[in-house]
Structure 1
Amino acid sequence: MIELYYWPTPNGHKITLFLEETGVPYSIKPVNIGKGEQFEPAFLKISPNNRMPAIVDKAPADGGEPLSVFESGAILQYLAEKTGRLLPSDLRGRATVMEWLFWQVGGLGPMLGQNHHFNRYAPEKIPYAIDRYVRETRRLYGVLDKRLEGRDFIAGKEYSIADLAAYPWTVSHEDQGMKLEDFPHLRRWFEHIRDRDATKRAYAIGDGIKGKLDARTDEEARRNLFGR
């Protein structure tokens, strides 16, 4: 059984996408980041960077004590290796998936996160910051669009954790100032993943979480997300 410490953000959705796609048994432990629950000592023992998601594997492969893993990319890699799913076993296939996984966690996620912040949440509109991150978002979408030309998925013909990592960050493309019709290969890929049954289940879980925050109007949420 996997315990998933979760809130419905792009990084949180990555893990429910994996678990729903593979059928791994899991339970959700909501971490309301707008209420500051990511700073509670019990959670910090699992995720010392005070970020979700994080997991606790109650039955690790070595037969030892429960094992905690934090950081979404590390969690995806861990779960893929544990289950033998969504990560190729051959050298070249695995290398391709891992380089695109790291591309997402090192570039696509952070840059689009800054886009979200300056476009939606910053208390003042800073044209330079908005322009900088919208332009970088467009560049990264272009990289992904080019990569997907002639490929079903990011690493080739097979769905992988590289796709699970990137997809949730493209869901809010309109808020990022992007139009998918400008990226036809990315749009095809996006629609294919969106329409998967596992994706629908994963996002329904997020929609069912109570107390979803709006840091644009909720001062407590703003303080917990951006002021600590």
Structure 2
Amino acid sequence: MRMGTVMRDALSLGGAALLAAVLAAPVGAQEATVFATGSVDGNETGIGLLGVSVRGSGFGLKPVGVLQGYYLQYTVPASLDQDSSVNLIGFQPQVGLGWYGLGGSVEARVGYNLVSGQDEGAEGDDVPVVEVEGGGSGLTTTLQAQTWSTRPELFGLATYNWGEHFLYTQAQALVPLGRLGLGAEAVWQQQTGDEGDYQSTSFGPVVRFGLSTQSSVSFAGGYKDDNVRDPTWYARLTFVRWGISF
């Protein structure tokens, strides 16, 4: 099957590229970050994501590799004349370069989003994209930046799936108060081009709790609106463990 061949080839290429990026740093000078997140909303959309980022330790320009996998479930509106429920499993390897300083970092990465469980319509069209690149496989590019020396601390992420012409962006601002961090976030998603016209906006408060000097858990939730369903609520729980040296 062609999709299976494409996925195997991309997995091999992505794994080799990630290994090359990690080995580019001196032996014993890597640093890893592990992250996990789960989110749900009032329109029966849910996603669970687990990933790891590996980069050369220290300051300056460093190679970086990211591997993440996710499970996505959402309900398709009856007006779209599709199966009522869609379940997708995605896997995405990415490699790139990052600049890391005393007070912040910037990363630029390229990779491939691999999705299994896609339905094919009567004319061979993929199911609609509804959340976080979940609609189909494709080349991805990502730009990520964050600061931890500013007040508030800032985080920004923009990723584009060229196969599905889908843009996902997220921005957060948090003010640290001891082990707590209080702030807000906004998420904008849009499918561009002729493949669809899905758009989604989410925004709400964020609360972060520091479990240790190198780990945290945060909760975000609030209002979500798109052009396919009725406005609703969303909630997301995120765990991050950084600074793992090896």
Under a length normalisation based on structure 1, what TM-score does the superposition of the two structures give?
Answer: 0.27
Higher relative contact order (CA 8 A, sep 6+): 1
Bigger strand fraction:
2
Report the structure number with the largest CA radius of gyration.
2
Bigger helix fraction:
1
Under a length normalisation based on structure 2, what TM-score does the superposition of the two structures give?
Answer: 0.26
